[in-house]
C-alpha cells in the first residue's frame, strides 16, 4: 500500500500552546513579565504554567518557578515533567533564558569530554573532539551542545507542553557582500544555539523600549515586533502579522488569533478544530510518555552494572574496569549520570561476562 497516495493537506495548529514562541528584547523590557501575564490572560490560571528558571528574573513576579542549578539538574526536571505528565497541572512552560540554558549544555559537554579524554582536557567547547577518543574532529563540541539542547526541547514538546523561550538581545554589525555595513538588534544567542532556538521558533517576538517625541515631551514606549523592520530581528511562520504593535499581551493574543484565522481561511468553526487537535495531541503525548517511562534511568543502569560486575571473576573484573575507563575515562561509573555512557558500559561488561 502506498504511503503517499492518500496524503491530505496540513491543517494549521489552532492553539497557542502548539507553537514554539521565542521572545527577545532589551534588558528589563518585560520579557518574563509577558510570560506571566500571558498565563493569566490565555489560561486564566497560574497553575497551568511553570517557569524553568536558568536565571532568576522572576523574583518580582507571581509565577510558579523552578530554579535550575546545572545541566544534569535540568535533565532531572525534564524527566519529571515527562514521566509525571499525568500528575502535573502544567500545560505551558517558560524557559528563562535560552542563553544560560545553552551555556549549561556547553559546560556539560566539556565535562563529559574531559572525563573521557583526561590527556586532552579543555576548558573551551572548541577543544572538544580535537584528537581525543573521537574520530569526529574539531567542532564536534558545538554539535553535541546543540544535540543536548534540542533533545530536551523535543522531549518536552512530544510530552505535550507548549514552550515560551526567553532570550537576551545584542547589537550586531552586519556586513553585506558589497561591503556596506549596518547595525541590527538581534537575539543574543551564539551561532550554534541559534541553530536550535531560532530555527525551531514559530514566533520570534522582539520587545523594545523606544524614545518618541510627542510635542515638546519625550516619552518611552514599548513595542512588540513580529516582523523585522530591517533593524530589529523578528519573524515567524505566519504571513498575516503586523510589523509591530505597542506592548500588550492582549495585543499579542489578538495578533495570534488573526494570524490563525487568516491561515484557516474559510474554516468557520475554529473552536471545533482546537478541541480535535487538543484531543489528538493528548493521545500522542500519552503514547510518548508511556514509552519514556519504559526507558531505564541512570540509577537503574548503575545497579545493573554493579550486579553484572559481581558475577565476574577477579581477572574479568579487571577487564570490565578497563572497558569502563574506555567509555567514561575513569573506573567509578557510579558518579556518572549520562544514560548513553552507562548503557555503553553495561553492554561492554556483558560482552566481558559472555567470554567467561
175 domain-assigned? yes
Picking from 294, 326, 346, the residue at the C-terminal end of a domain is 294
Regarding whether 182 and 156 lie in a shared domain, the answer is yes
Secondary structure in 3-state letters for 165-177: EECCEEEEEEECC
How far is Cα 137 from Cα 161, in angstroms, rounded to an integer? 36
Question: Does one domain contain both 323 and 209?
Answer: no
Residue 35 maps to a domain: yes
pLDDT at 134: 47
> Are 217 and 182 within one domain?
yes
Whether residues 153 and 242 fall in one domain: yes
**Quick one: 323 and 245 in the same domain?**
no
Taking Cα atoms as reference points, which of 63, 72, 57, 48 lies closest to residue 25?
57
Residue 1 lies inside a defined structural domain of this protein: no
Residues 213 and 109 in one domain: yes
Asked whether the predicted pLDDT for residue 182 surpasses 80, the reply is no
| Same domain, yes or no: 87 and 72 | yes
Range(s) of the domain holding residue 313: 298-354
Q: What is the per-residue pLDDT for 263?
A: 85
Question: How many domains, in total, are found in the chain?
Answer: 2
φ/ψ of 223, rounded to 5, equals: -130, 150
pLDDT given at position 19 = 96
Q: Which of 9-13, 113-117, 294-298 has the lowest mean pLDDT?
A: 294-298
Per-residue pLDDT, 136: 56
Structural domain ending residue among the three candidates 294, 309, 326: 294
Cα 252 to Cα 246: distance, rounded to the nearest angstrom: 9
Percent of the chain with pLDDT over 90: 59
pLDDT digits (tens, 9 = 90+) for 116-126: 888 888 999 98
Model pLDDT for residues 248-263, shown as the tens digit of each residue: 999 999 999 999 988 8
Q: Which pLDDT score, from 0 to 100, does residue 127 have? A: 87
> Is 70 exceeded by the pLDDT of residue 202?
yes
Whether residue 3 lies inside any domain: the answer is: no
**Omega of the bond leading into 170 within 30 degrees of 0 (cis):** no
173 located within any domain: yes
Above 80 in pLDDT, residue 180? no
Among the candidates 258, 278, 294, a domain finishes at 294
| 167 and 276, same domain (yes or no) | yes
**CATH number, domain at 223?**
3.40.50.300
Peptide bond into 97 cis (omega under 30): yes
Tell me the pLDDT band of 183, cut-offs 50, 70 and 90.
confident
Beta strands in the chain (DSSP E): 20-25, 49-53, 65-67, 92-96, 162-166, 169-175, 181-187, 203-214, 217-225, 235-236, 244-246
* Other Cβ atoms within 10 Å of 323 Cβ, number: 18
% of the chain with per-residue pLDDT over 70:
96
Packing angle, helices 270-294 and 249-264, rounded to 10: 100
Determine the average pLDDT of the residues in 270-294: 91
Q: Do 277 and 307 fall within a single domain?
A: no
253 and 319 share one domain: no
285 and 309 fall within a common domain? no
Q: What is the pLDDT of residue 130?
A: 64
Q: If you average pLDDT over every residue of the chain, what do you get?
A: 89
Identify whether residues 226 and 130 lie together within a single domain: yes
**Any domain includes 10:** no
- pLDDT score of 188 more than 80: yes
Whether 259 maps to a domain, the answer reads: yes
| Cα separations in angstroms, 53 against 13, 32, 157, 262 | 27, 10, 18, 35
Confidence of residue 226 (pLDDT cuts 50, 70, 90): very high
Over residues 328-337, the mean pLDDT reads 85
Place of cell 503514547: 287
Q: What integer pLDDT is reported at residue 132 of this predicted model? A: 47
Tell me the mean pLDDT in the region 262-284: 87
pLDDT at 302 over 70: yes
Confidence of residue 355 (pLDDT cuts 50, 70, 90): confident
pLDDT in tens, 68-90: 999 999 999 999 999 999 999 99
Q: How far is CA 44 from CA 23, 49, 120, in A?
A: 21, 10, 53
**Confidence band (pLDDT; 50, 70, 90) for 106?**
very high
Q: Band of the pLDDT at 23, cuts 50, 70, 90? A: very high
166 strand-pairing partners: 23, 96
pLDDT of 294: 79
Task: Say if 163 falls within a structural domain.
Answer: yes
Rounded CA separation 21/91 (Å): 14
Q: How many Å apart are CA 317 and CA 307, to the nearest integer?
A: 12
The predicted-structure confidence for 127-172, as pLDDT tens digits, reads as follows 888 654 444 566 789 999 999 999 999 999 999 999 999 999 988 8
Convert 128-137 to b/e letters by CB count within 10 Å (16 or more is b).
bbbebebeee
Amino acid at each position: 500500500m502506498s504511503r503517499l497516495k492518500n496524503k491530505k493537506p496540513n491543517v494549521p495548529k489552532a492553539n497557542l500552546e502548539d507553537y514554539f514562541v521565542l521572545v527577545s528584547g532589551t534588558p528589563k523590557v518585560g520579557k518574563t513579565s509577558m510570560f506571566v501575564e500571558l498565563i493569566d490572560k490565555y489560561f486564566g490560571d497560574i497553575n497551568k504554567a511553570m517557569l524553568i528558571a536558568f536565571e532568576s528574573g522572576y523574583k518580582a513576579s507571581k509565577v510558579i518557578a523552578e530554579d535550575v542549578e546545572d545541566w544534569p539538574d535540568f535533565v532531572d526536571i525534564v524527566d519529571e515533567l515527562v514521566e509525571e505528565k499525568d500528575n502535573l497541572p502544567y500545560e505551558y512552560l517558560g524557559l528563562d533564558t535560552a542563553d544560560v540554558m545553552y551555556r549549561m549544555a556547553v559546560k556539560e559537554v566539556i565535562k563529559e569530554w574531559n572525563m573521557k579524554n583526561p590527556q586532552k582536557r579543555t576548558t573551551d567547547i572548541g577543544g572538544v573532539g580535537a584528537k581525543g577518543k573521537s574520530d569526529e574532529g574539531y567542532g564536534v563540541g558545538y554539535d553535541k551542545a546543540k544535540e543536548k539542547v534540542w533533545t530536551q526541547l523535543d522531549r518536552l514538546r512530544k510530552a505535550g507542553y507548549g514552550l515560551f523561550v526567553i532570550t537576551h538581545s545584542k547589537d550586531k554589525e552586519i556586513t553585506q557582500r558589497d561591503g556596506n555595513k549596518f547595525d541590527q538588534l538581534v537575539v543574543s544567542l551564539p551561532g550554534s544555539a541559534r541553530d536550535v532556538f531560532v530555527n525551531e521558533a514559530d514566533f520570534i517576538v522582539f520587545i523594545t523600549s523606544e524614545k518618541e517625541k510627542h510635542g515638546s515631551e519625550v516619552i518611552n514606549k514599548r513595542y512588540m515586533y513580529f516582523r523585522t523592520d530591517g533593524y530589529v530581528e523578528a519573524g515567524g511562520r505566519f504571513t498575516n502579522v503586523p510589523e509591530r504593535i505597542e506592548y500588550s499581551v492582549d495585543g499579542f493574543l489578538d495578533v495570534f488569533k488573526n494570524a490563525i484565522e487568516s491561515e484557516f481561511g474559510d474554516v468557520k468553526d475554529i473552536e471545533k478544530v482546537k478541541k480535535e487537535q487538543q484531543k489528538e495531541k493528548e493521545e500522542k503525548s500519552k503514547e510518548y510518555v508511556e514509552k519514556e517511562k519504559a526507558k531505564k534511568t541512570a540509577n537503574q543502569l548503575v545497579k545493573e552494572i554493579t550486579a553484572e560486575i559481581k558475577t565476574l571473576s577477579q581477572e574479568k573484573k579487571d577487564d570490565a574496569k578497563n572497558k569502563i575507563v574506555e567509555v567514561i575515562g575513569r573506573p567509578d561509573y557510579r558518579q556518572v549520570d549520562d544514560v548513553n555512557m552507562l548503557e555503553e558500559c553495561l553492554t561492554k561488561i556483558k560482552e566481558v561476562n559472555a567470554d567467561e
